[in-house]
Structure 1
Amino acid sequence: MPRKKVNIPNHRFPDQTTSGVIIASIESTRWEDLDIHKPHRDNHFHLLVVTRGQWTMQVDFETIQIKAPGFLRLLSGQVHQLMDAKSAQGWAIAADPSTLPLELATLLETRVPLTIPLKHNAFFKQITELLALMCNVYSSGTDIYKGKSVHFMFNAFLTLLVGEITYLSPENARQEKRGSIIWQSFQVSLKANFKTMKSPAAYAAKLSITTSHLNDTIKDITGKSVSAHIQEQIIFEAKRLLYFTDKEVREIAFDLGYPDSAHFGKLFRKATGLTPLHFRRQFRD
């Protein structure tokens, strides 16, 4: 009997949220009632601050354990699922990227790693007090002024977080700040168009800059060329579809903009050292 072919669900941010941010205390949320225990994507950011206990998730192909005190950051598009939350306490935050200041959204994507082990220091005290207040205001009502207050407090939280990371690794701060608007715009365009646009020139035209300027800027910030980012996005999405769905290779190739599945197979093998089917057998079956 053939396997059922499935797509990866994509959860959308609620339209009715006035602040562009949702925050909940981990211990007061019935996680078993939420549809997050199966692989899915979100079209928004997820941040988690664990103050007690342990939180376990699968993020793309990796099992991530956050032990208190710790922090987790999920970007839109990442495939993830909750595995376990052992007596965890803290806060879970969802944020609509379109409501964030461009600089903060860029820093969240480029400066903040997937996980951060925290310490019981002054920074930890500041953010936990801020998140407790933010959660209290959020849960006390939904009028526009409270919504704005929650939004401003979330921006303050992100600013403190990025400041702490920059303090711990100042050598990269200046480099990653340069060209941040171009980098952010390229990321947005890449996520939206990688299935149909495969060349650096196409993205440069979309951003109304020269190909060389785009490539130099992206390479200065990330150390990788535009072509490398395009290929990474394609291959990573291919891995997600191979791992989380039962689609045939030819279907995945077509979904990613490659009518010739043999050509797609060669690109995948060149990038990973494995054929698509070998990858599926090795990492899933």
Structure 2
Amino acid sequence: MPQLPIHRSSQLTDFGVYLKTIISKTSVSSDRYAFSHTDDYYFFGFIEDGQCCLNIDFEEYTFGKESLVIIRPEQVHRIIDAFNLSATFLIIDSVLVNEEEKRTLERYGRQEIQLSDISELKPLLSLLDCKLSGMENPSAKAVVQRLTTVIVGLVVENIVNATIVQSKLQGTVTRHKEIVWEFRDLLENNIRSNRSPSFYAGRLNITVAYLNEAVNSVLRTSVSHHIQNEIILLAKRQLVYTKASVKEIAHSLGFDDYSYFTRLFTKVAGVSPTLFRKNYHE
């Protein structure tokens, strides 16, 4: 059983920033990127033209012209295909993304969000490319890093604005959004030890019914289903990319009852953990 490959920023750059422009009439997938892997860095893909299809955390997404691909550290992903693609890929070490920006990218950086206009970022990306080509200058490293933080700030601003517009179109209540992001933050830190909706409602000082209302309005699912989907996603990653037994995976995710874990996985994924692992490696 293969271990999950991890791509590290240190393999590409010694100062945390790497930029690559892709112009291709055919597939851009390569031996390095065509298989599933995770990164220890943030990946921003600015799609100027054409189309790109990726698998991100076992879901397929298609990105078209003037859209932005965001892949956060630890997300499992691979390139499926691309057509007439013109794009700029920006890789940024996590150390260059501040904590507030990380929280925003976690909360708002959904793969489904596509930006209507990335034109203001193009001259900055061109400038960054120019600076990266002249790294023999002693001050170039600091300039590149500062320019990168500006680009990240604009990306985060664009994401928030796009989400606000999308929310207004969907009639999503702002208070609901705030509750959901707080809920997701809590879930990330507690999912292995507590999967009860009442626990999260209590931590947010609201009722379970109101938490369900908020989650349903923003994520289009219930609190219980969202918790189940998140824990099963963690299980899928371990099933595919580690040698751990199903029982060991269940225990690592906080399940003392191995049989219950198996039933829950089968209910959510549609197949048993063993069959999921077998199918993915055929």
2:96·2:145 contact (CA, 8 Å) conserved in 1?
Answer: no
Normalising by the residue count of structure 1, what TM-score does the alignment of the two structures yield? 0.71
1:126 is the counterpart of 2:124:
no
Quick one: distance in 2 between partners of 1:243 and 1:230?
Answer: 20
1:26 is the counterpart of 2:18:
no
Q: Percent identity?
A: 23
2:176·2:215 contact (CA, 8 Å) conserved in 1?
Answer: yes
Change (3 A) 1:161 1:255: closer
Q: Which amino acid aligns with 1:56?
A: C
- Give CA deviations for 1:119-145 in whole Å, capped at 9, x if unaligned: 5xxx33223333333333344434223
Instruction: Give, in angstroms, the shift of residue 81 of structure 1.
Output: 1.4
| Aligned with residue 264 of structure 2, among 240, 263, 267 | 267
Structure 1 equivalent of residue 161 of structure 2:
163
Structure 2 equivalent of residue 7 of structure 1:
3
Quick one: distance in 1 between partners of 2:22 and 2:206?
Answer: 41
1:53 is the counterpart of 2:55:
no
- Give CA deviations for 1:84-121 in whole Å, capped at 9, x if unaligned: 344422211223455434443333222233144555xx
1:211 is the counterpart of 2:193:
no
Quick one: distance in 1 between partners of 2:37 and 2:205?
Answer: 36
1:232 is the counterpart of 2:224:
no
- Give CA deviations for 1:215-252 in whole Å, capped at 9, x if unaligned: 87976764477765543332112223344567543343
1:166·1:173 contact (CA, 8 Å) conserved in 2?
Answer: no
* Structural mapping, 1:1-285, within 5 Å: 5-14=1-10, 18=15, 21-27=17-23, 35-97=32-94, 99-117=96-114, 123-141=117-135, 142-170=140-168, 171-172=171-172, 174-175=174-175, 178=178, 182-183=182-183, 185-186=185-186, 188-190=188-190, 194-195=191-192, 197-199=193-195, 211-213=203-205, 222-223=215-216, 229-243=226-240, 248-258=245-255, 260-280=257-277, 285=282
Instruction: Give, in angstroms, the shift of residue 210 of structure 1.
Output: 5.9
More displaced stretch, 58-67 vs 147-156: 58-67
- Give CA deviations for 1:165-194 in whole Å, capped at 9, x if unaligned: 42343344733663688457435525xxx4
More displaced stretch, 58-67 vs 94-103: 94-103
Quick one: distance in 2 between partners of 1:177 and 1:66?
Answer: 25
1:112·1:165 contact (CA, 8 Å) conserved in 2?
Answer: no
Change (3 A) 1:88 1:266: same
**Secondary structure of 1:186 counterpart:** helix
Structure 1 unmatched runs, 5+: none
Instruction: Give, in angstroms, the shift of residue 39 of structure 1.
Output: 1.2
Quick one: distance in 2 between partners of 1:61 and 1:130?
Answer: 33
- Give CA deviations for 1:11-53 in whole Å, capped at 9, x if unaligned: 33439754x553322249xx77773222111233322111123
Normalising by the residue count of structure 2, what TM-score does the alignment of the two structures yield? 0.71
Change (3 A) 1:233 1:97: farther
Structure 2 unmatched runs, 5+: none
Aligned residues: 267
Change (3 A) 1:186 1:26: farther
1:182·1:214 contact (CA, 8 Å) conserved in 2?
Answer: no
Q: Which amino acid aligns with 1:45?
A: Y
- Give CA deviations for 1:246-269 in whole Å, capped at 9, x if unaligned: 754334334434465323212323
